[in-house]
Every structure is written in C-alpha cells, then in structure tokens.
Amino acid sequence: MEELRSLIRLSLRTLETELFSLLRALFVEIFVMVLQELDALIAAALDPRRYEAKSLQGRTLQTLFGTVSFRRRRFYDHREKRWVYPLDELLEFPDRQQVSPGLVSWGLVQAMLTGSYRAAARSLKEIYGYPVISHESIRQLAVATGLELEKRKEEQLADPQGTRKVKYLFLEVDGLVVSLQRQKRRRIEEKLLTVHEGWEPRHPSSNEYELVNKRHF
C-alpha cells in the first residue's frame, strides 16, 4: 500500500482540495455564461424605442467560488434620461460593490463566529485555500449592512404595513445579566423588551394570568 501511495502521490486531502479548485473554476465559467445569456435575453425583450444599446461594459465580482469577470450591455433610457444596466437591475447587483451578496453573508457570519474581522478573513482563507477577502473589506461590509438595516428599520417605522389596531399596547423593558466565558468581561447585561396587549386568565376558571399576543425583542 505504501508503494502504491508513493506511486500515485495522492491523498484524500489532496483529492478534495484539487476537486474543490476544479469545481470553483467550473462555477466561474458557468456563472459567466449564465450572466451573458441573461443579458442577451433582456436585450431582446427591451423596447427599442425606449432603450438604446450603447456598449458592453465589464464588471468584476468576488463570489463564494472565486472572482467572476463578465461584460453586460449598457443602455440609454430615453424616457428617464439616464444610463442603465438592465442585468444589474434585474438581479439586484450591489451598487458600487464588488462582493456578491452570498460572500457578504458568509463573511459576516465568520466575523460573528470568530469575534473579529481579522479572524474572519483568516478563517475564509483556511476554508478556500487562498485569501478571499481582506479584514478591512469585511469591516466595511459590516458597517454598510448595519446602515442599510437601520435605514430599512426607519422606513418601516415611518410607513408601517400593519393594519391591525389595539386599544392598549404595553412595552416592558428589563435587563438580563449573562455570564461570559473566555472574555475579559465577566458578565454583560442584555436588554429585553416585551410587547403585549394586556393580561388574560390562562383558562376561564384560572387564577393565573398570561400575556396576550406577546413578543420578545
């Protein structure tokens, strides 16, 4: 067996790593083909009286499986008097961002699991076998994601979608002290918000009460 192993010079780790590299390259190739086919379909479906094709423009994205570089059509929208990339708008490409949503999510998850941006970048490098994204890029993505979530929250508060109305709404706020392990701080206080519509008996003859339509935050 040792002679055979030395002859073929192959191990499970090597096989797994090499196949992963081949699959990444295949993913990038197919991804580019799909994007270009979609771009062509969109161009054929657009109203030529409104959209005038001008040129092919390149774009690069860092994805879960490597760097994807492709070209898509740029149009001039005569109705709105602006340049547009229909493929970008259809697929909701991140504006002025070269990291795909999938890689953003994976990077932020790694940052939360490891507790630092540098550790997240190192973790991704260990998984993929090459530097995927820098710790500074992960930090910037985390900041941008936080700002976007705050914006959506403000929009929801300004224009609530709910139609249900209640006479009273109770908000109870408290703190829960949680012990920490392997941290400089020994404990931390987590804030707890409970929202409910009042109290009602657990059942008609009960002397115990429960909260009505409660939600915890």
Q: Output the CA angle 50-55-61, nearest 5 degrees.
A: 110
pLDDT of 2 above 70: no
12-67 pLDDT, tens digit per residue, is: 877 888 888 899 889 999 999 999 999 999 999 999 999 999 999 999 988 888 88
pLDDT at 37: 95
pTM (2 decimals)?
Answer: 0.62
Q: Greater confidence, 153 or 186?
A: 153
Q: Is 88 helix (H, G, I), strand (E, B) or coil?
A: helix
Element (H, E) at 55: strand 51-63
Tell which phi-psi region holds residue 198, choosing left (phi > 0), alpha (psi between -120 and 50) or beta: left
pLDDT of 206 reads 84
CA angle centred on 198, ends 194 and 201, rounded to 5°: 115
Segment 54-107, tens digit of pLDDT? 999 999 988 888 889 999 999 999 999 999 999 999 998 877 788 888 888 889
Is the pLDDT higher at 163 or at 212?
Answer: 212
